[in-house]
């Protein structure tokens, strides 16, 4: 149902956005070549909240923690929509995300690592970080929605295995909504998620992962949380480190993400996104095997950290900005996406 509604609802939202000029216009820091509407996240949020929440609570699987999680996710979707229409200060966005995450952790629970207030603080900070990491990951056609769908599949399996059926229903609804939206968002994208969608899926996934690990202790929770969202974590670390080294604004958009660097290695846009969701699938499978007791957390956590550091180090070797020698070949008569003809300083 979620997949079907995701397909059907996205198209009228696309037409509405086009008719009202709600589009993301290309510039030298973006990878698309023409104005593209970005209300797709509203379709994902509405479909997930409607099908997932109604089914979960109607089936008797609802609980206060799940209600707070969905309420926080809805707030993030509205916050993102406002930011799409009228850009908000980063401090305000972070403050709202932190408040919503705090309610989720207070009501839904959190894992135990060291005990005391540190564990709750860690959970809140991790939700806020992952929410914004998915906002950054939404930088190429199909990237964020496909990665979200893959992670949701494994988290849903984990939720059902651990007896959290209500959360499993919400996650499978989010997976279906993302797949339905992906039919419109796969390259060449006809509509974007926008901040409303990227903040919504990031918050929902992060909160669901924290709630799923609320009974975990020791290294199990950090290992499970890291491998589940390793793709978004690597991309954020890569971008922040690259911009810091090059003395560029950390919060300013650019063509220096993992997906863009994969493109500069010779991959097509579809192939680059496929690498991302395949990587996400390996992380999701590792998290599931951890939850089933197959993989020990003492081995998985350092292994995931090594893989993440290695991925960042390898991608840093790929030029962060496109140039004549690094831009992929384009069809005749077509410029690089987002006006990538700007001059590049070579040091």
What residues make up the domain containing 195? Answer: 1-317
Longest dimension (CA), the chain: 62
What's the confidence (pLDDT) of residue 28? 66
Is 185 annotated in a binding site? The answer is no
The whole-number average pLDDT for the span 328-332 is 39
Q: In this model, does residue 128 exceed pLDDT 80?
A: yes
Residue 342 falls inside a structural domain: no
The whole-number average pLDDT for the span 21-45 is 80
What's the confidence (pLDDT) of residue 31? 59
Residue 95 falls inside a structural domain: yes
Residue 345 falls inside a structural domain: no
> Of residues 249 and 329, which shows the higher confidence score?
249
Confidence of residue 164 (pLDDT cuts 50, 70, 90): very high
Residue 75 falls inside a structural domain: yes
The whole-number average pLDDT for the span 120-131 is 96
Residue 335 falls inside a structural domain: no
- For the entire predicted model, the pTM comes to 0.89
Q: In this model, does residue 129 exceed pLDDT 70?
A: yes
Residue 64 falls inside a structural domain: yes
Residue 112 falls inside a structural domain: yes
Confidence of residue 100 (pLDDT cuts 50, 70, 90): very high
Q: Which residues contact 146 (CB under 8 A, 6 or more apart)?
A: 178, 182, 273, 276, 277
Cα separation of 204 and 202, whole Å? 6
Residue 336 falls inside a structural domain: no
Is 135 annotated in a binding site? The answer is yes
Q: In this model, does residue 336 exceed pLDDT 60?
A: no
Q: Where are the alpha helices (DSSP H) in the chain?
A: 2-19, 40-47, 54-58, 64-85, 90-108, 117-137, 143-161, 165-185, 194-212, 220-228, 230-245, 258-264, 269-291, 297-316
pLDDT digits (tens, 9 = 90+) for 255-306: 899 999 999 999 999 999 999 999 999 999 999 999 988 999 999 999 999 9
The whole-number average pLDDT for the span 57-77 is 93
Q: How many domains does the chain have?
A: 1
């Amino acid at each position: 149902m979620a997949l079907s509604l995701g397909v059907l609802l996205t198209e009228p939202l696309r037409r509405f956005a086009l008719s009202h000029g709600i589009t993301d216009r290309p510039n030298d820091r973006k990878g698309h070549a023409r104005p593209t509407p970005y209300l797709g996240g509203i379709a994902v949020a509405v479909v997930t909240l409607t099908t997932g929440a109604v089914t979960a609570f109607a089936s008797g699987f609802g609980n206060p923690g799940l209600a707070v999680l969905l309420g926080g996710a809805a707030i993030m979707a509205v916050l993102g929509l406002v930011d799409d229409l009228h850009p908000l200060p980063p401090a305000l966005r972070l403050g709202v995300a932190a408040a919503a995450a705090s309610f989720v952790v207070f009501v839904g629970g959190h894992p135990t690592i060291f005990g005391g207030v540190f564990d709750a603080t860690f959970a809140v900070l991790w939700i806020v970080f992952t929410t914004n990491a998915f906002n950054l990951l939404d930088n190429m056609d199909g990237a964020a929605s496909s990665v979200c769908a893959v992670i949701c599949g494994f988290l849903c399996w984990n939720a059902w295995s651990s007896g959290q059926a209500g959360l499993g229903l919400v996650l499978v609804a989010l997976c279906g909504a993302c797949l339905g939206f992906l039919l419109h968002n796969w390259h060449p994208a006809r509509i974007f998620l926008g901040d409303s969608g990227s903040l919504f899926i990031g918050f929902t996934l992060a909160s669901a992962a924290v709630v799923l690990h609320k009974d975990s202790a020791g290294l199990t929770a950090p290992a499970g949380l890291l491998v589940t969202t390793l793709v978004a974590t690597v991309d954020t670390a890569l971008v922040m480190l690259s911009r810091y080294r090059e003395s560029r604004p950390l919060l300013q958009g650019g063509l220096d993400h993992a997906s863009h660097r994969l493109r500069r290695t010779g991959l097509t846009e579809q192939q680059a996104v496929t690498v991302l969701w395949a990587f996400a699938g390996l992380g999701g499978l590792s998290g599931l095997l951890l939850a089933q007791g197959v993989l020990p957390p003492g081995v998985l956590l350092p292994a995931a950290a090594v893989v993440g550091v290695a991925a960042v180090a390898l991608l840093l070797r790929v030029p962060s900005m496109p140039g004549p020698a690094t831009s992929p070949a384009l069809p005749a008569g077509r410029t690089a996406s987002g006006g990538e003809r700007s001059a590049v300083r070579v040091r």
